[in-house]
Structure 1
Amino acid sequence: MISITAIFKSKTESTEQLQSMLNHLVTETRKEAACVRYDLHASENVFIIWEEWKDQPGLDIHNNQPYLQDFISKCESLVSSPIQVYKTLQIL
């Protein structure tokens, strides 16, 4: 199993727009066969996506989805700092 944590810090004036885009991303991603978990968390203007994937090939398919590529290109102007993405493997 592969885990991903992605952290988005929204510009204050873009919080609602970013959340709407993230909601769409979550809805579409959860339809993917290799997606085990894709949860959105928030605290003020910070959004965190916690992901779990069955395997690397499934994650590779996800990373090439047009809706993900579209999201990435559009959200860059809505965040106050670069998106942080951590790929981890469970050790305990």
Structure 2
Amino acid sequence: MAPRSQQATNQQTTEAREVWLMPVFAPKPERAADLRTALRQLQQRSRQDQGCIEYSVYASDGRFVLIEGWESRAELDYHNEQDHVREFVDISVDLLIEPFTVTPITPVV
């Protein structure tokens, strides 16, 4: 076990690390255009949030894929509490055929 001071340093390092996520959204066929619009608005507003490194939405095989990067877990957590994120999560229920998934990803290079 690491000494207490090293544990605190390790925790600070972990909290300061970048966080990358890949949410995937499967729209109801008749609501795909609505989801695209909602994601475009979410992307526009989220890119202005403090700590945002990347926030880009892509289309793939009838689904939408979001690649998002944050300077730290704290900034991601703050982002997730913003009204524009909460509003998107609330309306997405009616736009999706299943709940969206969020996969943590790690840059390789």
> Which structure dedicates a bigger proportion of its chain to strand?
1
Shift >3 Å, 4+ stretches = 88-92
Residue 48 of structure 2 aligns to a residue whose secondary structure is: coil
Q: What is the alpha-carbon distance in structure 1 between the residues aligned to residue 74 and residue 56 of structure 2?
A: 20
Q: Higher relative contact order at CA 8 Å, sep ≥6: structure 1 or structure 2? A: 1
Q: TM-score, normalising length from structure 2? A: 0.79
2: CA distance, partners of 1:46 / 1:64 = 25
Tell me the distance in 2 between the aligned counterparts of 1:75 and 1:82: 8
Q: Which moved more, 1:81-90 or 1:38-47?
A: 81-90
Taking only the aligned residue pairs, the percentage that are identical comes to: 25
Supply the AA of the counterpart residue of 2:47: R
Aligned partners of 1:4 and 1:87 also within 8 Å? yes
Please, which runs of 5 or more residues in structure 1 have no aligned partner? none
Worse-superposed segment, 36-45 or 68-77: 36-45
The root-mean-square deviation of aligned C-alpha atoms, in Å, is 1.3
Residue 7 of structure 1 pairs with residue 7 of structure 2 = no
Partners of 2:25 and 2:108 lie apart in 1 by 25
What residue is the counterpart of 2:64 in the other structure? 47
Letter aligned with residue 49 of structure 2: E
- Equivalent in the alignment of 1:63: 80
Structure 1 or 2, whichever has the larger Rg, is 2
